[in-house]
Chain A
Amino acid sequence: MDLFTATDISKQFSAHKALDKVSLTVKEGSIFGLLGPNGAGKTTFIRIINQIIAPDEGTLQFMGRKLIPTDVDQIGYLPEERGLYKKMKVGEQALYLAQLKGLSRAEAHKRLLYWFSNFEILGWWNRKVEELSKGMQQKVQFIITIIHQPKLLIFDEPFSGFDPINVNLLKEEILNLRNQGSTIIFSTHNMASVEELCDHIALIDQAKKILDGNVKEVKKTFATNTFEIRFNNFTGDIRSFLPEAWEITGEERDEDLRVTTVRLPSDCGPNDLLRLLIPHTTIHALNEIIPSMNDIFIRVVTQQEGAGNTSTETPSA
């Protein structure tokens, strides 16, 4: 079932077009990665979901009906630009923000105690925020984001500012939340975490959606039919017994093994490659080179920029 659907969302900031007919569908219980270079329009899109700003055009559907103002209580949002009141006590502040999301004071208190002890920061309840380390503040912010058990969670660059230990803790919690039924929208530059966590991605660049799909499928479509073969017992040029159309894209040595990458035409497969090589060499390994999300990202974005649309507009923050 689709939890959230955006159809043809456009948003114009005076001379700058922030979003141009962007459509997205987020399935319930999935982790959705919203990718794109800086200033592509991701934050604008997220703010529209949070009803912080209104789109100029397009419709938003949430839980099968039109998105309404009170839905903000069903959404948890951790913005990229995030912070807390420095002079306010941690516990008091968490209570305040939880109540703003519609929880009663008693319920908020109960849940906060659970999460504070879970994250081992209960001792900081009565301390002022300015006394906390950055990582601890981030933990508090994370708790505040999820405390009202929202249907939809939106994290904008959630891992920036965390040390690796806390990044792992956070990833675990995010997966836990997903397993408990939350749907998560994830906006990030960190492609490694996208591959690790996301089921589905959409890539936005220059206000337009340029790629959308299941992570595995996206990767498959970007696979170039390139294989890496490790072999030895051959010192000549393997070029000599491969067909003209097959392209050797890399050659290196790994100890006594030769490592060669070969790009095959679309009508050939790894078996064809093996058939030609086995008579001459001892094969140790054969792998398909699947592009990482990082490669795909760079490729798509540079392609897009090369496609004539080289606007120099400075996007809004």
Chain B
Amino acid sequence: MRKIWLIIKREYLTRVRKRSFIVMTILGPLLMAAIVVVPIYIATTTNETKRVAVIDETGLFYEKFKDSDNIKFHYLVSDIWSAKENFGKSGDYALLYIPRTEVALPTNALLYSNKQVNINVKSYIHNVMSKRVEDLKLEAQLRDIAKGESTPINVDDLLRSIKTSVDINTMKIGDDGKEEKSYTEVSMVLGMFTAILIYFFIFMFGTQVMRGVIEEKTNRIVEVIVSSVKPFQLMMGKIIGVAMVGLTQFLLWVALTFMIVTVVTSSFSSGSKVEKLQEKVINQPASGFNSHEVFNVPAQKESDEGVSEVFAAINSINFPVMIGSFIFFILFGYLMYAALFAAIGGAVDSEADTQQFILPITVPLLLAIILAQFIIQEPEGPVAFWLSMIPFTSPVVMMIRIPFGVPYWQVLLSMVLLLLGFLGTTWMAGKIYRTGILMYGKKLSYRELWKWIRY
């Protein structure tokens, strides 16, 4: 144990002190901050007015949508089908359709557009609608109380009872007039973001493990080391050490990104409107960034009703499961793949020889990322299910599915399978590694590797 700890320490310290680590640590947040800050900048500088057509079948929202600085509303008296057909010619930015409801107050609306609907427009509409529905509910309650049909209740309960969240589904109208659901949902952003994060983590740090092994082999130091420790200890020490480096880098990125975004946005703020806008824009992508910021969200919830829609979506996600699975899948996904990368590093003589062996292990991960857009459309489908069970794809695919809600038994089964996959690949990788690190100048084939596994 002491020896494996020494190995982890060396792997960690030599990497963290490298110039490339420091450069990456600084560049990463700058890039991420740019992703966050640039949309704000664009949002605050473009003054293009967006026209939104409204078809209100309920009649409850007539004249309620007030024009703002860059959103103008006009009401259409037409049915939704012809409106949709004419949408392309109208030059409108979006078409808001509030369908008739029979008994209850409307809590659904559809927002059609031929582009991705701006979050500001969406949250403005959401605000107006929620406010109006809440007012109506309040009126009804007060009326009932006045009539004596309902017993007076205290204000808090009353306010809670009228609290309404309106669902606005955005639909994209294609050029051919066909409509498709557009996924601006937070679940999607969150699922994709964590999946891509896991994908990159596995690749970045998996290849670092591989390079480290190749370095030891080409330096010819490996035999000196394995005369002191078991090859398996050396391999695991390296994998764990590199994982710590990855963790450090990610934590630094989160902290630095947060700092940069805070500094830049506060320097932007010159008026309350702008500030509000920034918050909206920041909060939306930031929600997918990392657990810390996500944790902060509930505290900010009351501060700005404009983003409540985003928060409503966030609240619908089971965060303990989300965060717990994220940690589990990134950790064991990495461990499983890192072992394979270590085996490749041990088997080859130089980085140039790695290509033919890297390809087969990258295909499952690549496939998972490529199929992500289909999985998002059908997170409960058989493809999504099976890919989230197979250990080679589950770290990525399960993270896409989880924000949409996955039965516990599936999450647990997937975790157990990943754990088994990790044990299996590590055992196999250990065998290849053990033989490979002491072999030089051998022409490698898969048959040769198979022999090593059976030694």
- Whether A97 pairs with B220 at a CB distance below 8 angstroms is no
By a CB distance below 8 angstroms, the chain A residues around B225 are: 97, 100
By a CB distance below 8 angstroms, the chain A residues around B216 are: 85
A285 in contact (CB, < 8 A) = no
Give residues 46-79 of A contacting B (CB, 8 Å). 47, 50, 52-53, 69, 72-73, 75, 77-79
B223 in contact (CB, < 8 A) = yes
**Contact check: which of A52, A78, A84 meets B221 at CB < 8 Å?**
A84
Interface residues as binary, A20-42 with B (CB distance below 8 Å gives 1, 0 otherwise): 00000000000000000000000
A44 → chain B, closest Cβ, in Å?
10
A88 CA / B215 CA spacing, docked (Å): 12
Q: Which of A13, A81, A101 has the most CB of B within 10 A?
A: A81
A48 → chain B, closest Cβ, in Å?
12
Interface residues as binary, A304-317 with B (CB distance below 8 Å gives 1, 0 otherwise): 00000000000011
B227 in contact (CB, < 8 A) = yes
- Interchain Cβ contacts within 8 Å, total number: 69
- Whether A50 pairs with B219 at a CB distance below 8 angstroms is no
A126 CA / B431 CA spacing, docked (Å): 36
By a CB distance below 8 angstroms, the chain B residues around A69 are: 230
- Whether A144 pairs with B226 at a CB distance below 8 angstroms is no
- Whether B224 pairs with A75 at a CB distance below 8 angstroms is no
- Whether A52 pairs with B220 at a CB distance below 8 angstroms is no
A317 CA / B220 CA spacing, docked (Å): 13
B105 in contact (CB, < 8 A) = no
B361 in contact (CB, < 8 A) = no
Given A13-B455, A52-B438, CB of A82 within 8 Å of CB of B223: yes
By a CB distance below 8 angstroms, the chain B residues around A73 are: 228
Interface residues as binary, B229-265 with A (CB distance below 8 Å gives 1, 0 otherwise): 1110000000000000000000000000000000000
Chain A residue nearest to B216 in the complex (CB): A85
- Whether B221 pairs with A83 at a CB distance below 8 angstroms is yes
B292 in contact (CB, < 8 A) = no
A136 CA / B207 CA spacing, docked (Å): 32
By a CB distance below 8 angstroms, the chain A residues around B221 are: 82-85
- Whether B219 pairs with A75 at a CB distance below 8 angstroms is no
- Whether A317 pairs with B224 at a CB distance below 8 angstroms is no
- Whether A72 pairs with B228 at a CB distance below 8 angstroms is yes
B140 in contact (CB, < 8 A) = no
B441 in contact (CB, < 8 A) = yes
A52 CA / B228 CA spacing, docked (Å): 9
- Whether B224 pairs with A77 at a CB distance below 8 angstroms is yes
By a CB distance below 8 angstroms, the chain A residues around B230 are: 69
Given A47-B438, A52-B438, CB of A86 within 8 Å of CB of B219: yes
Give residues 112-157 of A contacting B (CB, 8 Å). 141, 144
Given A52-B438, A316-B439, A317-B439, CB of A97 within 8 Å of CB of B228: yes
By a CB distance below 8 angstroms, the chain B residues around A87 are: 14
A246 in contact (CB, < 8 A) = no
B440 in contact (CB, < 8 A) = yes
Given A84-B221, A99-B6, A317-B441, CB of A52 within 8 Å of CB of B226: yes
A88 CA / B224 CA spacing, docked (Å): 15
- Whether A81 pairs with B223 at a CB distance below 8 angstroms is yes
- Whether A83 pairs with B219 at a CB distance below 8 angstroms is yes
- Whether B14 pairs with A88 at a CB distance below 8 angstroms is yes
Chain A residue nearest to B448 in the complex (CB): A14
By a CB distance below 8 angstroms, the chain A residues around B6 are: 96, 99-100
B89 in contact (CB, < 8 A) = no
A141 CA / B219 CA spacing, docked (Å): 13
B147 in contact (CB, < 8 A) = no
B241 → chain A, closest Cβ, in Å?
13
A83 CA / B231 CA spacing, docked (Å): 17
A77 CA / B224 CA spacing, docked (Å): 7
**Contact check: which of A13, A50, A317 meets B440 at CB < 8 Å?**
A317
A96 CA / B5 CA spacing, docked (Å): 11
Given A52-B226, A83-B221, A101-B228, CB of A14 within 8 Å of CB of B451: yes
- Whether A100 pairs with B219 at a CB distance below 8 angstroms is no
- Whether A85 pairs with B227 at a CB distance below 8 angstroms is no
Interface residues of A (CB under 8 A from B): 13-14, 47, 50, 52-53, 69, 72-73, 75, 77-79, 81-88, 96-97, 99-101, 141, 144, 316-317
New A-B pairs, 8, CB < 8 Å, besides A78-B224, A316-B439: A52-B226, A81-B223, A83-B224, A84-B219, A99-B6, A141-B224, A317-B438, A317-B439
CB-defined A-B contacts under 8 Å, sample of 8:
A52-B438, A72-B228, A73-B228, A83-B220, A85-B215, A85-B219, A85-B221, A316-B439
